Structure 1
Amino acid sequence: MEIVVVGARGFGQVHLNAISGVDVSIVERDRAVAEEIRSKYGVRKVYSSFEEALNSDAEMIDLVVPHNLHREFAVKALRRGKHVLVEKPIATTVREGEEMIAEAKRARKVLMVAEQYYFDTTVRYVMEQIRAGTVGTPKFILVRDQRLFTRTGWRLFRSQMGGGALIDGGIHYVDTMLNFGGDYTYVSARSMNVAGIIEGEDTTVANLQFANGSYGTLLYLWSYRDPPTLPAFEVIGTEGSIYEDPSTRKQGDFRSGRNYVYGDPVVNGKKVALEHADVFRAEMEAFFRAVREGTEPEMKPEVALRDLRCVLDIYRHAGVA
């Protein structure tokens, strides 16, 4: 099998580093850049355009492109009989995401969103503990991440992002919040632009009420200079608590092959040492497994659409839609 990575100059190289067991090709017009990537990652073919890749015999397309191109590129690939892996968010609107899912079903092809946080070992463990009643009945969930955005490129522009910080990096933490809390019934939120680096919002505080009666608070910032290291999540229940030990966290070294999101959980006061899997390799393996077996992907596109819908609900309540 062959997978074509579209967008291999930036974060696409994280995908290239995580791919194994299949032939790998890229789309790249610049010959010097193409040769550098080819030698580093063992790339088999270099296509000069997306259209050339669609005309090839490659079975899979991996889209690492700006958010506003997700729907267009994914639908084109699905209609040409390709399985599609697309970076989060699934799209910039719910309608676009629904169109992508409907097209995948019509084509009988796998559509999966590359949401690596979904595959994090700590997230899976905490979900199991919540279901098992280890902390009793969950009453409050806090999920947060604070940092300063210092990069350049298309993420500076609202038109390509479909928003700002929340729809990009923040959607990871929305996924974690919803995996812990379940369906929500109410959202209130406030978003603002503090640092003035990007066009969209860089700071959001959202409160969610869940169908099970618990509450959640999401805090996501791209405007925090010299932030403290704090637990990224806390789950408080009637009989205990679970929170992340951030000192055991390992993220940011994207090409190490040992990248995971959250540190070990502290369950009812006792740290649990977990054997962590690399989240990028886990998501790639899940995609390839679904393609080979002809099954739904472990990270169903409907879950990614759930995450997007929550982000857009937060935007609407915050008055930035």
Structure 2
Amino acid sequence: MKIAVVGCRGFGNVHLKAYQQIRKEIDLETYVFSRDINNAKQCMNEFEANGYFISYDDVLSSDVDVVDLIVSHDSHESMGRSAMESGKHLMLEKPIGRTEEEGISLIETSNKTKVKFMVMENHYFDPSVWKAKELMAKLGRISAIIVRNTRFNSPSGWRRNKAMMGGGALIDGGIHYVDTLLNLGGEYKRIEGLCKSTFAGLEGEDTTEAIFDFGGFLGTLIYSWATESRYFPRFEIYGEHGSIVEDYKSRTSEKPYGNLILQLNGDETETIEVKKVNTVEEEIKGFLQSLIEGKNVPMNPTLALRDLKAVIDIYRSCGEI
């Protein structure tokens, strides 16, 4: 199987490092793309790729099987659609697009061309989320779910441009935490959001807080690139019989979430150990196995569209669009 990684710097580095490990398990040829020939050669050598491209048209006309697209958000729909129309299977780094229309276009193109398409939201592949979902039944009726991540991040380049991003921090890194909240909470009835642009240097917002009405309980989302704080749980679930809290002390660098702390009926807490995995490797391996085995992709792109719709609902609520 031949894969072209389009966008070999930035988060493309993370994908390329993952391929170095995955090649030990799956027979792959990897190729890198950069419009700068020196950058392309450097990426090829650094990550032991089989070759390089400096023209996207050459990628599309080549015999690669899969395009792994890691580019600015404004290029997701056009470059992703071109890849699938050229017969390439597509992995697309989140989000699925800047608008619902862009996301729907990609899903429809995948259905029309009969190629596989998956949006790369690695938090979806963190087993801590699904173990917490399983344990929620022990809590009885749920009252509140809190999901949050805050950091200092002042990116350069296209991430400062609201039109290219489709917004600000929330549609970029924040969509991962929207995904986690929806995987835990299910369908929401409405959203109330507040957004601010403070000092991260973005045209779009850098700090968002939103309340999700899930019907029987509330969800709270907090995401910021202007608030440094590492020492708190990234998600908490509260119910009539106790709580489930993510253990920040047990996180690893490759895995967004740590073990779980379960407390029931006021008794002593129990730590639930969760398998440590590299979530980027897991999502890529899952996609490749779907090709090898002829199965559905492990994260249906309609879920990525769901996450984008929630981001857009927050933006509408807080006046960003």
Q: TM-score, normalised by structure 2?
A: 0.94
Please give the alpha-carbon distance, in whole angstroms, between the structure 1 residues aligned to 2:195 and 2:35.
39
> Letter of the aligned partner of 1:16 in structure 2?
L
**1:313 counterpart residue number:** 313
Cα offsets for 1:167-218 (capped at 9, x unmatched): 001000000000000000011011011115111000111000114x111010
The answer as to whether partners of 1:149 and 1:197 remain within 8 angstroms in 2 is no
In structure 2, the gaps of 5 or more residues are 264-268
The residue aligned with 2:229 is 227
Moved more, 272-281 or 31-40: 31-40
Alignment check: 8 A CA contact 2:142 2:217 kept? yes
Cα gap change, 1:34/1:318 in structure 2, threshold over 3 Å: closer, same or farther? same
Pick closer, same or farther for the CA change 1:228–1:44 going to 2, 3 Å. closer
Distance 1:107 1:228, change over 3 A: closer
**Helix, strand or coil: the match of 2:309?**
helix
* Separation in 1, partners of 2:179, 2:77: 20
Q: Which residue of 1 aligns with 2:6?
A: 6
**Contact persistence 1:54–1:77 (CA under 8 A):** yes
Maintained 8 Å contact 1:145/1:221: yes
Corresponding position: 1:217 with 2:213: no
Partners of 2:256 and 2:294 in 1: how far apart?
A: 29
- 1:280 deviates by 0.6
Equivalent position amino acid for 2:245 in 1:
Y
Q: TM-score, normalised by structure 1?
A: 0.94
Aligned residue number for residue 83 of structure 1: 89
User: Structure 2 matches for 1:89-128, cutoff 5 A?
Assistant: 89-128=95-134
Q: Which amino acid aligns with 2:152?
A: L
Q: What RMSD, in angstroms, separates the aligned Cα atoms of the two structures? A: 1.1
Shift of 1:134: 1.4
Corresponding residue of 1:264: 259
The question of whether the paired residues in 2 share the 8 Å contact of 1:286 and 1:297 is answered with yes
Q: Answer yes or no: is 1:35 the counterpart of 2:20.
A: no
**1:134 alignment partner, SS class:** helix
* Identical positions, percent: 38
Q: How many residues matched?
A: 310
C-alpha contact (below 8 Å) 1:25/1:45 kept by paired residues: yes
Find 2:58's aligned residue among 49, 52, 57.
52
- Give the Cα separation in 1 of the matches to 2:255 and 2:77: 28
CA–CA distance in structure 2, aligned partners of residues 275 and 99 of structure 1? 36
Deviates more, 1:103-112 or 1:264-273: 264-273
Residue number in structure 1 paired with 2:193: 189
Letter in 2 for 1:222: W
2:138 aligned counterpart, secondary structure: coil
